[in-house]
């Protein structure tokens, strides 16, 4: 009891204050004069988030926003260590102080509770809707949650959009967003639905004029739409805007449920943002009793060849008027350049086996690609029927004989109802044919028509796929799904997601040179990303007419295996290019994808990121560093190594004359002796990078 009193200061039944265990953060809650719940967050003695309102409009003209009375308050705290199935570290500390407040509206009798958790690196809070006599089913019309920044922060932002998160990230002050927004929206994306007014996506990375880094996102997005943030560029107030359904409603809820957590991670050291586990900690532990089938995976794939402009196609035939379920594919004329044919897939399997990869992704294996991105059409693909030149049984046998898995591909082109109908048969087909992971895809507009990728209906769909997949012991890598919110803790078979602008864009409108210095602070805050790095031949004109050029140097691509965390990592380039640079390819062969420890050595969003990690269960370490379009010298302090031990570090670095635009393939490889006392200076070319593998000296 004495402990609880220390944690929580009650004042006249309308307010409470609670601090983080380390004392850096202080959360104050109160009901203002209108009976509206408000919170405030202080960091190191100064206001970080000024008074900010909370609440909702719900159906039929009611609100959960004002006239509240405080009926109960409770304090709690936790300090535990848990172990993710796969992750950036084997031990994760979950330490917080909690403040819970129960509210009731006198006029309606409606009840709503709030739960705040203050961690050493920030705050999470959520709404809870207890079972109550008056309210049962209700519709969320609007969520009002505010984040009162009160200052003109620097922001790393994308336009608020309920269907795509594949924009490049813009860097500007909050006050400059309005002037840049029209241009930012002009991106050739498969599906765009802009949020109302001036709004940006989360995870939103911010930096205050005083140098405090703030990241706003959400955790445990379940049965609720994703949130974008309205930008009030006069008062520098951000507020929630939820993805709507076709009627403009946001969420259909039943009491006895909770909202996702709203998260604020903050520090005056940018490295702490990347080191934060706050979002994972706010998600529930996994409820899978057996996770032995969930495994990290390094893979190659019949994939990049579809993007290079070299002619390989997902489609088997160029004939028109093909109809799924009616057309007999064996009678069609093959187009002669179908990528997913048995012999070609065998080449990939051989290469995977020879170089220690776990799996080969095969896109374009199934009937339906002839529709050529017929957006908004139903019944495009079969997920159980292979093209005539893709021999499922033979490839199953061949891959198994080489100890390699084939990764299934389910591009739905967002014909989601159709996918839900086929899903169980598709997973059974996978089990029957030896597949244990699937890459899903949601290019284009959603069917049911009018729904959005980020709306409640689709949020439920993605999780339904993941849970159903678990029944078949299948891992899921979803592309174009809603951005992740740490659900990979609870559902570790959701092994990775794309949900941002990945490497594929290097083959069309391009990625900016600072892209991979920002993503760890934005998209990756929510969970692992299938970025698909490892492009060695960055000049696509070698394949034909594609003029696209990669946004980094060759060793910059190697660095991404360390800086972009994912237990699923692709070596995306063509086999022929890895054969050309076997010495550089060695790093991709060596690098781990699952980790015991992670050390963020240097970080500044938009400028640079340097990370060191220890391989899971091995005395092997890997370091990666990336930068933006300005060359720089990184400092690699090896004090993360065990003291007194000797290691050999193989450094893959930009050549002296390397430059992402003029000379991206110039690199140098050298081996040096290192100990925990070594500090190395590493020069990075413009949009360059370096990678280091560290093994015990024999």
Identify what 329 binds: ligand NOJ, Ca ion, none; CB under 5 to 8 Å per kind. none
Structure tokens at 368: 């339906």
Binding site for ligand NOJ (CB under 6 A): 303, 363, 411, 441, 443, 479, 498, 504
Residue at shortest CB range from ligand NOJ = 411
Task: Report the nearest approach of ligand NOJ to the CB of residue 520 (Å).
Answer: 19
Q: Which of 608, 636, 641, 605 is nearest to 623 (CA)?
A: 636
Measured at the alpha carbon of residue 267, what is the angle toward residues 266 and 270, in degrees to the nearest 5? 105
Kind plus residue range of the DSSP H or E element containing 388? none
Identify what 451 binds: Ca ion, ligand NOJ, none; CB under 5 to 8 Å per kind. none
| Cβ-proximal residues to 63 (8 Å cutoff; 6+ apart), any chain | 55, 56, 57
Structure tokens at 88: 């950036």
Identify what 369 binds: ligand NOJ, Ca ion, none; CB under 5 to 8 Å per kind. none
Identify what 631 binds: Ca ion, ligand NOJ, none; CB under 5 to 8 Å per kind. none
Nearer to Ca ion, 451 or 498 (CB): 498
Distances (CA, A) of 186 to 57, 105, 157, 176: 33, 45, 14, 17
Binding site for Ca ion (CB under 5 A): 479, 498
Alpha-carbon span 317 to 372, nearest angstrom: 11
Residue at shortest CB range from Ca ion = 479
Nearer to ligand NOJ, 441 or 606 (CB): 441
Identify what 180 binds: Ca ion, ligand NOJ, none; CB under 5 to 8 Å per kind. none
Task: Report the nearest approach of ligand NOJ to the CB of residue 363 (Å).
Answer: 5
Nearer to ligand NOJ, 143 or 504 (CB): 504
Identify whether the C-beta of residue 489 lies closer than 8 Å to the C-beta of residue 87: no
What count of other Cβ atoms lies within 10 Å of the Cβ of residue 57?
16
Task: Report the nearest approach of ligand NOJ to the CB of residue 503 (Å).
Answer: 9
Nearer to ligand NOJ, 82 or 375 (CB): 375
Identify what 88 binds: Ca ion, ligand NOJ, none; CB under 5 to 8 Å per kind. none
Alpha-carbon span 603 to 518, nearest angstrom: 10
Alpha-carbon span 235 to 157, nearest angstrom: 18
Structure tokens at 402: 């080489």
Distances (CA, A) of 496 to 172, 265, 464: 29, 22, 16
Task: Report the nearest approach of ligand NOJ to the CB of residue 324 (Å).
Answer: 16
Q: Which of 588, 498, 577, 569 is nearest to 539 (CA)?
A: 577
Task: Report the nearest approach of ligand NOJ to the CB of residue 337 (Å).
Answer: 16
Identify what 363 binds: ligand NOJ, Ca ion, none; CB under 5 to 8 Å per kind. ligand NOJ
Alpha-carbon span 494 to 527, nearest angstrom: 10
DSSP type of residue 167: S
Identify whether the C-beta of residue 263 lies closer than 8 Å to the C-beta of residue 274: no
Identify what 441 binds: ligand NOJ, Ca ion, none; CB under 5 to 8 Å per kind. ligand NOJ
Distances (CA, A) of 225 to 162, 222, 253, 263, 579: 9, 8, 11, 15, 46
Alpha-carbon span 698 to 689, nearest angstrom: 28
Nearer to ligand NOJ, 441 or 520 (CB): 441
Segments in 28-114 forming alpha helices (H): none
Nearer to ligand NOJ, 453 or 599 (CB): 453
Alpha-carbon span 27 to 78, nearest angstrom: 17
Please confirm, yes or no, whether 629 is among the known catalytic residues. no
Identify what 411 binds: Ca ion, ligand NOJ, none; CB under 5 to 8 Å per kind. ligand NOJ
Task: Report the nearest approach of ligand NOJ to the CB of residue 548 (Å).
Answer: 15
Alpha-carbon span 169 to 177, nearest angstrom: 12
Task: Report the nearest approach of ligand NOJ to the CB of residue 378 (Å).
Answer: 17
Task: Report the nearest approach of ligand NOJ to the CB of residue 347 (Å).
Answer: 19
Task: Report the nearest approach of ligand NOJ to the CB of residue 134 (Å).
Answer: 46
Alpha-carbon span 430 to 439, nearest angstrom: 12
Nearer to ligand NOJ, 116 or 303 (CB): 303
The residue annotated as part of the active site, out of 504, 506, 537, 653, is 504
Nearer to Ca ion, 479 or 483 (CB): 479
Nearer to ligand NOJ, 441 or 492 (CB): 441
Distances (CA, A) of 476 to 283, 389, 472: 18, 26, 11
Alpha-carbon span 675 to 667, nearest angstrom: 24
Q: Give the active site residues.
A: 504
């Amino acid at each position: 009891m004495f402990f609880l009193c220390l944690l929580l200061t009650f004042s006249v039944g309308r307010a409470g204050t609670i601090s983080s265990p380390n004392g850096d953060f202080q959360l104050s809650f109160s009901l203002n004069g209108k009976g509206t719940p408000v919170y405030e967050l202080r960091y190191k003695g100064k206001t970080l988030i000024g008074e900010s309102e909370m609440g909702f409009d719900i159906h039929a003209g009611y609100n959960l926003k004002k006239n509240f009375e405080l009926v109960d308050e409770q304090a709690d705290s936790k300090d535990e260590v848990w172990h993710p199935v796969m992750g950036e570290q084997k031990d994760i500390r979950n330490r917080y102080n909690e403040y819970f407040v129960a509210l009731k509206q006198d006029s309606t009798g409606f009840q709503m509770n709030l739960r705040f958790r203050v961690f050493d690196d920030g705050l999470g809070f959520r709404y809870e809707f207890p079972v109550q006599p008056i309210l049962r089913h209700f519709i969320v019309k609007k969520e009002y949650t505010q984040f009162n920044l009160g200052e003109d922060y620097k922001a790393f932002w994308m336009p608020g959009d309920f269907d795509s998160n594949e924009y490049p990230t813009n860097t500007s002050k909050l006050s400059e967003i309005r002037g840049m927004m029209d241009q930012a929206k002009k991106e050739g994306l498969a599906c765009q639905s802009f949020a109302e007014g001036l709004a940006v996506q989360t995870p939103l990375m911010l930096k205050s004029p005083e140098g405090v880094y703030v990241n706003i996102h959400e955790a445990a997005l379940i049965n609720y739409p994703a949130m974008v943030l309205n930008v009030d560029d006069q008062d520098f107030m951000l507020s929630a805007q939820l993805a709507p359904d076709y009627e403009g409603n946001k969420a259909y809820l039943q009491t006895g449920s909770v909202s996702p957590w709203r998260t604020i991670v903050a520090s005056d050291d940018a490295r702490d943002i990347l080191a934060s586990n706050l979002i994972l900690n706010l998600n529930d532990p996994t409820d899978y009793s057996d996770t032995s089938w969930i495994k990290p995976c390094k893979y190659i794939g019949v994939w990049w060849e579809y993007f290079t402009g070299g002619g390989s196609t997902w489609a088997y035939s160029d004939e028109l008027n093909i109809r799924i379920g009616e057309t007999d594919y064996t009678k069609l004329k093959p187009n002669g350049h179908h990528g997913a044919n048995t012999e070609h897939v065998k080449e990939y399997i051989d290469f995977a086996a020879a170089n220690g990869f776990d799996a080969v992704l095969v896109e374009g294996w199934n009937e339906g690609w002839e529709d050529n991105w017929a957006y908004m059409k139903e019944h495009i693909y079969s997920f159980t029927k292979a093209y005539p030149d893709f021999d499922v049984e033979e490839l199953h046998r061949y891959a198994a004989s080489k100890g390699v898995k084939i990764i299934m591909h389910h591009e739905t082109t967002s014909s989601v109802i159709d996918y839900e109908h086929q899903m169980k048969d598709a997973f059974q087909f996978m089990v029957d044919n030896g597949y244990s992971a699937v890459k899903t895809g949601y290019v284009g507009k959603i069917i049911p028509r009018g729904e959005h990728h980020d709306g409640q209906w689709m949020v439920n769909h993605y999780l339904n796929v993941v849970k159903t997949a678990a029944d078949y012991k299948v891992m899921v890598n979803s592309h174009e799904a809603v951005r992740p919110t740490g659900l990979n803790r609870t559902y570790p078979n959701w092994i990775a997601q794309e949900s941002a602008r990945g490497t594929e864009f290097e083959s069309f409108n391009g990625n900016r040179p600072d892209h991979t210095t920002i993503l760890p602070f934005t998209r990756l805050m929510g969970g692992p990303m299938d970025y698909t790095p490892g492009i060695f031949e960055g000049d696509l004109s070698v394949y034909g007419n594609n003029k696209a050029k990669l946004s980094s140097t060759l060793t910059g691509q190697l660095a991404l295996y360390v800086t972009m965390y994912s237990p699923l990592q692709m070596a995306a380039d063509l086999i022929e290019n890895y054969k050309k640079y076997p010495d550089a390819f060695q790093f991709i062969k060596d690098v781990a994808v699952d980790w015991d420890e992670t050390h963020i050595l240097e970080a500044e969003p938009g400028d640079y990121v340097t990370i060191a990690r220890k391989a899971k269960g091995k005395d092997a370490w890997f370091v990666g560093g990336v930068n933006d379009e300005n060359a720089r010298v990184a400092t690699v302090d090896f004090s993360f190594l065990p003291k007194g031990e000797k290691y050999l570090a193989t450094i893959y670095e930009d050549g002296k004359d390397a430059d992402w635009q003029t000379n991206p393939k110039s690199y140098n490889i050298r081996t040096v002796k290192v100990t925990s006392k070594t500090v190395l200076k590493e020069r990075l070319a413009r949009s360059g990078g370096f990678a280091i593998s560290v093994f015990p000296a024999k």
